[in-house]
Amino acid sequence: MNVLTLACVPVLAVMLQAVYGKSGKALTLIRTWRKSIEAFGNGKHCLLKILGQLNHQRSGVVIVDISSINRIYLINLRCRSDRLSHFKDQQTENGWKLPEPIIFDAIDGDKVGVPDFFTQGGGAFGCLRSHISCLERAIMDDLENVLMLEDDLVWFPDAWERLQAFLAACPDSWDQLMLGGQHNGNPGQEVAPGVCRVKSAGRTHAYLITTKAAKSLLKTWYKCSVHCDWSMAGWQGDKKVYAPTEFIFGQYGTKSDISGNTNPTKFWNLPGELPVILLDAPAEVVNRLRGYGLHTGYQRDGQGLDVGLKSVVASTNKPAALRRWLDTIQWEVASDPGSVATIWHPSISAEIARAACGDTLIEVRGNTVEECLAQLPPTLRLKANLSASHVLILHASRDVVDGLPGFHKGYWVDANGYDRGQSEIALATPKDKVHRLRKWLEAVGPECERLGAVPLIWCPGISLEDVKQACPEKTVIEITGDSVEDIKQQWKEATI
């Protein structure tokens, strides 16, 4: 700390006593600010933030420094050691200036069982119960606040300076701070430089909450029958919830414990003017095009149509309703390279779509995947979907295979982790083996293309030659590896 900065601390103490009296709060603030200046070294930057804090209201929980955070939980499933390893690697590479988190052994919803009223499956139920358990413990331990993190957390090296500045700029009175998340539609107004009001936001990978607000949130979660962040987004409406104008923490690209899908790294920050596709194609074609990045919505009915678009069709002002739907989708698209918002509904015309998004609209009509992709402008970069052109033969342990994202080894898995279909193929005669293997690849093909996942052969009795004979039109790659990172690197080198 330089001499000038240090000399300012007594002056600030006098100012704080004038604001807060002799309650002891002034001393606490001075101590935390002094730590902040010593930690970050930028005296001018920190002093400006300190002086800005004096303009805040006195009520509520005050967090002026990251050391004011009472406790941090990091939720991690015991079987996902790969995520915990990546988190620790991030701490080394990008720094970690928060207290060391308590690792919470996440609840496996599939193992404990899912109640009949819950509609979203074991992964989502385990996530809900894990967050509930952590908040309950924070309340029981008489904490003022708790920071909740999930093990797929990702951040950049400048996260700590940004976090410090955000905490110093936040209003004193708050219920929850969304340090990472995804706004549902546009966020609320900016209440201070770099701070916006949250109207409704999903994701639970990084949020700070007061225990007083946690009691209120728990009342909502105890009755929750859907994803906990969906329920939380509704709860936020009348609460004092704030977020940085650009989220500080994102989610690492890995296999989801909830959906099972492989997700890219995302920060869900404000999108710019992005293209929109109006698609006219059969359902089976649309299903496959999703694997190339065509984002047709989150919740779909039995026909594959987004339920949000049903509300658009029922609206008296369809263009305005469609614009609101697109605002939500574009937040997701902006954080997912190769993804593009796509309108697919028989009752939404080009006239309605163009009124909603103007010159950014791209109309596509086709009966095959190839026909549709050919109509897209070359400047539009979609996902590199190798699912239709590549096959991987892998020699690795089960733990490595289970932790490897982006590949599909089949639907019907036995107790040892092998796909039963592949095991049966391995026992067939040479001639029948090739025929049956081709049928297996055809069966998983559409699902692989939809997910952007490459077919994976993991069975001792199926050779490289078998696969090449079964699909001579595809590129077959054989890899032997001891870790997920080793295999990912070999795959990257083989497919460049």
**What is the separation of C-alpha 75 from the centre of its chain, rounded to a whole number of angstroms?**
14
The DSSP output letter for 292 is G
Helices within 71-113 (DSSP H only): 81-94, 109-112
Q: Give which of 97, 109, 107 is closest to 147, Cα–Cα.
A: 97
pLDDT confidence of residue 172: 84
- Taken as a whole, the chain contains a residue count of 496
* H or E stretch at 397: none
pLDDT confidence of residue 253: 65
pLDDT confidence of residue 144: 94
pLDDT < 50 positions in the chain: 1-5, 16, 18-28, 31-32, 35-60, 256-262
> How many CB atoms lie under 10 A from the CB of residue 411?
11
CA distance 394 to 339: 28
Q: Give which of 284, 304, 289 is closest to 388, Cα–Cα.
A: 289
pTM over 0.85: no
Strand order in the sheet with 176-178: 102-105, 72-76, 145-150, 206-210, 176-178, 241-244, 195-197, 190-192
Using the Cα atoms of residue 440, residue 255, residue 227 and residue 107 in order, give the sign of their dihedral.
positive
Cα 131-119-126 angle, rounded to 5 deg: 25
End-to-end CA distance of the chain: 49
pLDDT confidence of residue 49: 46
CA distance 308 to 41: 49
> How many CB atoms lie under 10 A from the CB of residue 173?
14
Residue 269, φ and ψ in degrees, nearest 5: -95, 165
The DSSP output letter for 230 is H
Residue 184, φ and ψ in degrees, nearest 5: -90, 100
Strand stretches in 206-284, DSSP E = 206-210, 241-244, 250-251, 276-280
pLDDT confidence of residue 266: 62
Tens-digit pLDDT profile for residues 61-80: 555 577 889 999 999 999 88
Residue 232 · residue 204 · CB < 8 Å: yes
86: which 2 tokens?
């990546």
> How many CB atoms lie under 10 A from the CB of residue 231?
17
CA dihedral 164, 165, 166, 171 (to 10 degrees): 110
349-384 burial code (b ≥16 CB/10 A, e <16): eeebbbbbbeeebbebebeebeebbeebeeeeebbe
CA distance 475 to 208: 47
Residue 27, φ and ψ in degrees, nearest 5: -65, -40
CA distance 104 to 76: 6
Residue 426 · residue 433 · CB < 8 Å: yes
Q: Give which of 75, 62, 49 is closest to 20, Cα–Cα.
A: 62
Strand stretches in 216-293, DSSP E = 241-244, 250-251, 276-280
Residue 69 · residue 211 · CB < 8 Å: no
> How many CB atoms lie under 10 A from the CB of residue 140?
9
* H or E stretch at 193: none
CA distance 221 to 129: 9
23: which 2 tokens?
């309650």
pLDDT confidence of residue 62: 53
State whether residue 477 is helix, strand or coil.
strand
Helices within 141-192 (DSSP H only): 159-169
CA distance 390 to 406: 12
* Residue type, position 68, single letter: S
Q: Is 313 exposed, middle or buried (0-12, 13-18, 19+ CB in 10 A)?
A: middle
The DSSP output letter for 403 is T
Rg (CA), the chain: 26
